[in-house]
Amino acid sequence: MKPASPPRNITSTKTQSNFVDNAREKILSARHHDPFEVLGRHVDGDKDIVRVFLPNAHKVQLDAQYDMQRIDNTDMFQWRGARTVLSHPYRVSWLDSEGHQHEIYDPYCFSPQIGDLDLHLFSEGKHEQLYRILGAHCRTVEGVEGVLFATWAPNAERISIVGDFNHWDGRCHPLRSRGGSGVWELFVPGLSAGTLYKFEIRDPQGNLHLKTDPYGRRFELRPGNAAIIEADSNYPWQDEEWLLARRDNDWQHKPLSIYEVHLGSWLKANVADDITENKNVLTPPAALGESAKNTQFLDYGQLAEKLIPYVKAQGFTHLQLLPITEHPLDASWGYQATGYFAPTSRFGRPDEFRAFVDRCHAEGIGVLLDWVPAHFPKDAHGLARFDGSALYEHEDPRLGEHQDWGTLIYNYGRNEVKNFLVASALFWLEEFHIDGLRVDAVASMIYLNYSREEGEWLPNRHGGNENLEAIDFLRQLNIAAHQRTPGVLMIAEESTAWPQVSRPTWLGGLGFSMKWNMGWMHDILDYFKKDPVHRHFHQDQLTFGLLYAFTENFVLPFSHDEVVHGKGSLRYRMPGDEWQQFANLRLLYTLMYTYPGKKLLFMGNEFGQGSEWNHDTQLDWYVLEYPLHQGLQSLVADLNQLYKKETPLHYFDFQEEGFQWIDCHDASQSVISYLRKDAEGNHIIVVLNFTPIVRENYRIGVPAPNGIDSNQREENKTCYRIIFNSDSSHYAGSNAGSGAPISIDNEPWMDHPCSLQLTLPPLAGLVLTLTNNIEDHSLIKNITP
């Protein structure tokens, strides 16, 4: 508990008179830098003087017995009396212009609440729980309940807290400046959770700025943008076992398959109840699909009931949400945030989002969030020129503005700005038990000349194009995240060849856990859009990625970025007729799930959404009445199970010992084949045919079965079985390719001591495993008979 605020001493009547006159003018014009110099309790010899500012008040009293006198014809009132008679804290009562009685504790009788150590850590950029200090926090101070408001605005002349409680009048509750820290604070008794508020900031030029709270933990629904006082959460988490397991999780050697979702457009609320009645969560009723445009969002509770069972049934290990930090514009998809410490109110309250995460963990699903420290919008109520100056951004647009996006770039060289961002990341990881952050647009942060022509950017102090401050920030961010929340995943969307993005900071890396493999994704999609008759000219696009596949810990992303801005859906980027389009998609996903790297698929891609993603409408669920869409959805579910079950497909996702080419040179037939291996010597064979031609008697080399020499092979029952065929009729394929056991031939082939002869289905992939049981048909369901 802080000590009572000591009364200020006034030494002479003349000085007091001049002081009061000057200070009164500043208070009345709402431009006083330190209202505590005027308002509150002050010592005058053996007397106390108390001053309050109450617009439209009369009959003002202290402690319901001491009358206060109006100063001239202003709304300032004063009492002068014996020092021993007032209580502490004292109460102020008055009648308003409509005759209503009011009584409050005086906000200006309380001492500063933010400690010097907190201010020091903030100025150093090292206060990792800054969200517990700045913003609005319900507190009990000296036995009085209220709310402590605090914000950072070093260049402001005056800051006030405004809301319905003071008729949005910036003269009523000016904040106390905490000197060189740039922090302002005020404890306002009587306020409670649920109250709307903003900061009114007067800059040195006298301009007023009405700003929402950068550290606000809840906001009103857009188009409103006021912050809402949110009490500290007492949510009863049930995921202790999940967090303990996560801390020690060997994620590099475990399967990780991510379903990327935009909560506002996965499913709309007007069809949610009907879907509940359908026992098969994979196929929402077809008749409801077209009617769900421009309707209400599902809330966090409804999403828990609908989305989580779907993700679990599809076999994904993680759910990745497009940004849910509060944002004013739906069309930004959340990537232009104004509330870095608040889940958007579009879907409910913060504790309801906690319950959503808790439910995910109970069902064995991790939760990742997109998080955007690269830029912020210019909205007048947000961070832009927060105190009338370029505070969070750079003054020079060559450093401080993204011309392409019309947004502002953070000034990573300011400790307080770095602290704001690091604290935001930790807030989500600690307060909401989030399992990781996907950091957006990292390339735009680390290059000063990102998307800029010559003369449109400024070099760093060494003359280079590296943003040294941003690099230091990213390292600080990742160190803090991994130290404070062990086991979380920090994933970079980084689209260049910047080295060691996913390597530890102590080795010179940026410290991320993983990085999106944008190069592989672009090459593969460019290859797949080509007519199969021309693909043999472009075999290198299939194989080039293996030259760098293990230089980083890669995620293979078919994300939202690939189905927007006129690119169309993945389905319609595939060549051929409808059947070939779906065969190509099945082949594309088979390649992704058997290729080194963790997996990511944007919602709708799993069932072949036909239209380009539109954030205003739900997915085209109605297409699931058609066999090709049903087949693709079943294929993705089976690929997830295959990826999780077969250790060679995930154990060495980041290490070259887990991959070996069998044949990458058969460009004339557009076929590739490779081995995936685990640490125990087990292996999986993958053969992919990128043409619509059935390849009969196609021979590939294979390793010799362990412990069996060439003379024993014919008598031994060891053979290969096809455990996955993307052309299976279960997936609406043509059912080419044999599901019977495939004997191992003694004939060496392609530098391997043994070989197999296969029938390769059209536009399809086969996955084979070694087995000693030729009668075993149970390795995975839905095997082509």
Give the catalytic positions in this structure.
440, 493
Is 500 in contact with 507 (CB distance < 8 Å)?
yes
Complete DSSP assignment for 663-695 = ES--GGGTEEEEEEE-TTS-EEEEEEE-SSS-E
Residue 328 and residue 309: Cα distance in Å, rounded? 30
Residue 555 and residue 596: Cα distance in Å, rounded? 9
Complete DSSP assignment for 243-305 = HHHHHT--GGGS--EEEEE-HHHHSBHHHHHHHHT-S-TTS--GGGGGG-BS-PBP-HHHHHH
Residue 95, CA distances (Å) to 92, 101, 169, 476, 579 in order: 11, 5, 17, 53, 78
Residue 439 and residue 372: Cα distance in Å, rounded? 6
Residue type (1 letter), 510: L
Q: How many CB atoms lie within 10 A of CB 713?
A: 17
- Token representation of residue 633: 């959805």
- Token representation of residue 55: 């617009």
- Token representation of residue 612: 């380009």
Is 638 in contact with 780 (CB distance < 8 Å)?
yes
3-state DSSP assignment of residue 415: helix
The stretches of 537-626 forming alpha helices (DSSP H) are 540-543, 578-594
Is 278 in contact with 333 (CB distance < 8 Å)?
no
Instruction: Produce one character per residue of 481-507: b if its CB has 16 or more CB atoms within 10 Å, e if not.
Output: bbeebebbbbbbbbbeebebbbbebee
Is 366 in contact with 320 (CB distance < 8 Å)?
no
Which residue is it, tokens 């592989």? 520
Dihedral sign, CA of 430, 432, 435, 437? Answer: negative
Is 157 in contact with 33 (CB distance < 8 Å)?
yes
Bridge partner list, 160: 174, 200
Which residue is it, tokens 């196929």? 283
Q: What is the DSSP letter of 501?
A: T
- Token representation of residue 369: 């969030």
User: Is residue 122 packed enough to be buried (19+ CB in 10 Å), middle (13-18) or exposed (0-12)?
Assistant: buried
Residue 467, CA distances (Å) to 474, 498, 583, 589 in order: 11, 12, 44, 37
Is 75 in contact with 56 (CB distance < 8 Å)?
yes
Residue 555 and residue 249: Cα distance in Å, rounded? 18
Angle at 547 between CA 543 and CA 552, to 5 degrees: 120
